[in-house]
Amino acid sequence: MASRQRSSRLRRTLLAALVTASVAVPVSGAARPTAVPAPVPAELGPLTATPAALDARYAANRAGIRAAERMAAGHGDRRRAAALRTMAGPARHFLSFDGRDGGRTAEVFGDLAHAGRIAVLVPGSDTGLETYGRFRDGAVALQHEMGDRSAVIAWLGYETPGTVSPTVLTPGRAEDGARQLTSFIRELSATLPRSPSTAPRISLVCHSYGSVVCGRAAPSGLRVADIILYGSPGTGADTAGQLHTRATVWAGRGTHDWIADLPHGRLPLLSTTIGFGADPMSKEFGARIFDAGDTDHSHYLRPGSVSLRNIARIATASADPAAATHPGGRRA
């Protein structure tokens, strides 16, 4: 009886959230800049992680960003043009860039050719070219915290949902993102040394809706050591085991993160599903829990924060009892 009551409450809560998002989306969606024209990106060929090949790739993408800037300016979108002008700076290093349909990018921080530890940062909702600065700031802070011989790739490889939209409650965008993320990690892995003694350690660092993307990509056999979920609404699975990955699955949530108040579960509705399954912080899910301090939903990678320090410890394989406990546990 109690189980049926909980299921009924979950159904009502998820449906209420969907209705609210559906009513709000005409307002939020109207401002979402996905219609700004951009050129078709140049064909770059397979990724090669040697210094010379990377320099050539960075230069080609810098030219593509400048072309997109000119097109955005001609369209009259000053905000997009200003964002692209900043991204085209000589010190910026993009493995890929596509300015169409909201934008797709992969930017490198650190020396990828010689990195021993690589963190691939996967963003959540409302991340695009106009809001890219905050995503970049987190990547810069993480690479700095990880230290020498590390690299962070800020991977914006899918169309993120709006925070207030029906898409943020359903897995559609995550399924597309997972396909793109799987392809990217496989390409990255293929160009790195294959010997276990020399191959860089790769970690997925997945924020908010980005953890749904990582959850969808996890069963595809990715060569990653860790999947780090933070500020997560769920992964689409009820247990870490259902992700079918050899990677260690970690989860952390700040004490001031509003996402803790979201209902957890899945509700089939027509041709889709609302919700993302079990809370990754729950004992039943079985992730290794790390201390994320008192951060809120948007500041896990703030310099000096407990959450940033512990995410970097995990990505560099230097996690200790201050960062994590046994699966499903809490820091004492």
Measure the CA–CA gap between 84 and 38, rounded to whole angstroms.
Answer: 11
Q: By CB neighbour count within 10 A (0-12 exposed, 13-18 middle, 19+ buried), where does 92 fall?
A: middle
Q: Name residues whose C-beta falls within 8 Å of residue 22's C-beta, 6 or more positions apart in sequence.
A: 166
Query: Is residue 3 over pLDDT 80?
Result: no
Mean pLDDT value across residues 193-204: 81
Who has greater pLDDT, 250 or 268? 250
Token pair belonging to 309: 């320090």
Token pair belonging to 247: 């990677």
Q: What are phi and psi of 199, to 5 degrees?
A: -65, 135
Mean pLDDT of the chain: 87
Least confident of 2-6, 202-206, 321-325: 2-6
- The amino acid sitting at 169 is L
Please report the pLDDT score of residue 65 as a whole number. 97
Among 69, 137, 61, CA closest to 94? 61
Measure the CA–CA gap between 220 and 52, rounded to whole angstroms.
Answer: 31
Token pair belonging to 91: 């010190």
Q: What is the pTM of this model?
A: 0.88
Please report the pLDDT score of residue 15 as a whole number. 45
Please report the pLDDT score of residue 163 as a whole number. 83
pLDDT tens digit sequence for 125-168: 999 998 999 999 999 999 999 999 999 999 999 999 998 788 88
Please report the pLDDT score of residue 157 as a whole number. 97
Mean pLDDT value across residues 77-81: 93
pLDDT tens digit sequence for 241-252: 999 999 999 999
> Residue 296 has what DSSP assignment?
-
Token pair belonging to 206: 């997945």
Express as a percent the part of the chain with pLDDT over 90.
72
Q: By CB neighbour count within 10 A (0-12 exposed, 13-18 middle, 19+ buried), where does 133 fall?
A: exposed
Maximum Cα interatomic distance, the chain, rounded to a whole number of Å: 66
Total residues found in the chain within this entry:
332
Buried b (16+ CB within 10 A) or exposed e, 18-45: beebeeebeeeeeebbeebebeebeeee
Mean pLDDT value across residues 66-78: 95
- Count the helix, strand and coil residues of the chain and give each as a percent rounded to the nearest 5: 40, 20, 40
Residue in this structure with the two tokens 């700031």, named with its chain if needed: 137
